[in-house]
Amino acid sequence: MTLLVCSIWVDDASSLGRQADQAWADGAEAVELRLDTFDGEPADLADYLRRHPQRTWIVTCRSAEEGGHFRGDTAERVSRLLAAARGTNAFIDFEYADWRRSSNIRQKVLLAAAPTDTAGGNATVASAAETDAPAGPSGARTVAPRLILSAHVLAGVPADAMGLAERMQREPVRAAKLAYAADDAFDALPALDLVHAHGFRVCVIAMGEAGACTRVLARKLGAFAGYAALEADAPTAPGQLCLRDMIGLYRWPAIDTGTQVYGLVGDPVAHSVSPLLFNRWFGRAGRNAVYLPFRVPGGAGSLARFLDALRHRPWLDVGGLSVTLPHKAAALEYAGSGADRAAAGAGAANTLVFRKGEVRGFNTDRHAAVDSLVAALGGDRRDLAGLPVDVLGAGGAARAVIAGLTDFGARITVFARSPGSAAALAETFACRAEPWEHRARRAGQVLINSTSVGMWPRVEASPLPDHALAGCRLVFDLVYAPLQTRLLRDAAGAGAHTLNGLDMLLRQAAMQYALWTGDRPETSGDSELVTAEVRRRTGEAADGAPSARGRRAIALIGARGCGKTIVGRELASLLGGRSIDTDELVTTRAGRPIAAIFAQDGEPVFRQMEREAIEAVVLDPPAVISVGGGAVLDEENLKRLRTVARLVWLTAPAAVLRARLDADAASREHRPSLTPLTPEREVEVLLGERAAAYERAADLIVSTEGLSPAAIARKIVRQIASIPG
């Protein structure tokens, strides 16, 4: 049986019990203790584990070289690891690279991981391949020690992944664990291949958001274990799903070798609510199926290459896929003669069905858009005849909407940035095309926005000025994240009825489910569920205002010297993501230090560069954003940061800040003077002037005095979940 392992950071012995109890209560089958950041005596952990022998434990102290946080030497790490495992019967996870370097280390680790022979015979050490072999003529049994040898490759898919896994298995281990960084769904496939080939003897993980399928499908393919985080805010590896999502969202307990796989193909896919919908429907119907995100980047032939790869792995049992940007046209092409009339007419397929070696293509957007619009207008499809409708955009979504509306006689005018795309739509569907620059002159009773303008995180953008909405009967924005876009807010203010893309999403998804299964899903309560989930993910409160809960990034704010940059790097490492320092981004873009920008162009020019840097970062938010000391004094910066991040103010007394700045001689020449005062006095004055702004902006305040950057990062991780939604 594949173990569901909850991996937790252990900072001190006092927090272990609380975290472990929560993990077991939430459904974990084993708990991995990450000792990288542990500050206490390892023997205290061993005492706790010995008091709970009925539970399955794994102890790990991951080195910085393999993506962990332990920076001591190997001997110290081994000593810490073995002291925590001594006498506990816990599994020991140890790096294969260090295992190979020293026979002395191998002896110590093997001794600590020696198995207990509960059958009364003499246990002898065996490799993973020999584990649980029957007893020999002498009555001795060969059993593997409680040892996991692991390798973590941070630079992408290992060239010799299969060979590496096989070499680790030849050692006396219970399982070989391989984790590597994944950029897209293609990178996840070698991990699935390895587990398919070796089953319970291995655990292979593609790290990062793109590797989510490798974590969930570990149970289908019979891996040794699948790993999850206790909380979404505190993963111990990049892309680690939280325990509640593994069990609740992806229905881990129901997955087995017969589970059929469905999913969403596109880029991006991380913020889609489709997994929530489809897995809920599968669960309600008692279907042995799971729905997963697959990030496949755009590019000629990219979708076809991925689909071919799935079809060449029949053991995955892929039954169908939802297709989103940028692959809908490519999906139609891939389906070929298997595409239905609606998809062919719309020029795009958003649904693929795999059955008996054949591929069928459909477009459920076309019908869902019409049904959503008719329901919002309060009539039936006959009322669309002659209805003047303005459509913004000429992409795949616009094409599907226009195809559906012209089926029932609506009079369409399309406005698009690309004159060629608009003209092609006009010719295909016998509608009018107008230049994008004329969109404010629109005069239709219904306006439909099929562009991505206004989508999270650019929530303040709108494809149309508010004065152009006068006299509009209904504004339909296909965007559903956020639920209330700037366009819809402006439309409501102009007296128009409004409709977001959520209703259309639910309708088209239900049609996809029917195409895959032959049944309509039970949808009661789905609208409320998905509404709540969209708000959680985008940080949108019920009144449309941004809220802290759901903003996934963390922005560090505070005075110069508080440690934003170095703490940001430590924090991003803990969270398994990347960090960006906006001051460093400005410097890189300008090609000169900030002090030079101040001296040559003045502070106003720097502040504009800072705004542009923050806007760019917010569009593709990293795990951690470290912002300059004066950035949050600008309301525009603050509004943008609040869209995607929880703001953490790193505090310290002025004297501490001065001491840190004095010790950082390397950056002194790059710091601009912000006042005519001495450096010492400037720190005090600026802190006094800005403290109120920092406090007003902050969702969380963390004192940094007397703490190392690593300790500050761990403190933030522990406290971030306490921010109220």
What is the predicted pLDDT for the residue at 680? 76
Q: Per the structure block, which two tokens stand in for 430? A: 């016998």
What is the predicted pLDDT for the residue at 698? 95
What is the predicted pLDDT for the residue at 143? 55
Taking the domains of the chain in order of start, what are their residue ranges?
Answer: 3-256, 258-362+506-547, 366-500, 553-720
Residues 453/461, Cβ–Cβ less than 8 Å: yes
Q: Which CATH architecture has domain 366-500?
A: 3-Layer(aba) Sandwich (3.40)
Could you please state the CATH topology (level 3) that the domain comprising 553-720 is classified under.
Rossmann fold (3.40.50)
C-alpha angle 49-52-58 in degrees, rounded to nearest 5:
45
What is the predicted pLDDT for the residue at 402? 95
For residue range 241-263, what is the model confidence (pLDDT) as tens digits? 999 999 999 999 999 999 999 99
Domain 3-256 bears CATH identifier 3.20.20.70: yes
Domains 366-500 and 553-720 are alike in CATH topology? yes
Residue 283: enclosing H or E segment and its boundaries? Answer: helix 274-285
Residues 290/251, Cβ–Cβ less than 8 Å: yes
**Alpha-carbon Rg for the chain in angstroms:** 28
Helices vs. strands in the chain: H and E counts, helices first: 28, 26
Phi and psi at residue 286, to the nearest 5°: 70, 30
Active site residues: 328
Q: For residue 319, what are the CA distances in angstroms to 212, 220, 223, 518, 568?
A: 18, 15, 22, 12, 42
Phi and psi at residue 569, to the nearest 5°: -65, -45
Give me the sign of the Cα torsion angle 162, 163, 164, 170.
positive
Residues 292/316, Cβ–Cβ less than 8 Å: no
Could you please state the CATH topology (level 3) that the domain comprising 258-362+506-547 is classified under.
Rossmann fold (3.40.50)
User: Could you count the other beta carbons within 10 Å of the beta carbon of residue 704?
Assistant: 23
Average pLDDT across each block of 10 residues of the chain; the chain has 725 residues. List them in order.
Answer: 94 86 96 90 93 95 90 92 93 96 94 65 44 39 78 92 96 96 96 97 95 97 97 85 96 98 94 94 97 95 98 97 94 96 92 95 95 94 95 91 95 95 93 95 95 87 94 95 94 96 96 97 92 82 56 90 93 86 95 92 95 91 92 93 93 91 72 74 88 94 92 86 65
Residues 497/553, Cβ–Cβ less than 8 Å: no
Q: What is the 3-state secondary structure (H, E, C) of 393-435?
A: CCCHHHHHHHHHHHCCCCEEEEEECCHHHHHHHHHHHCCEEEE
For residue range 521-561, what is the model confidence (pLDDT) as tens digits? 999 899 999 998 888 877 776 655 555 555 779 999 999 89
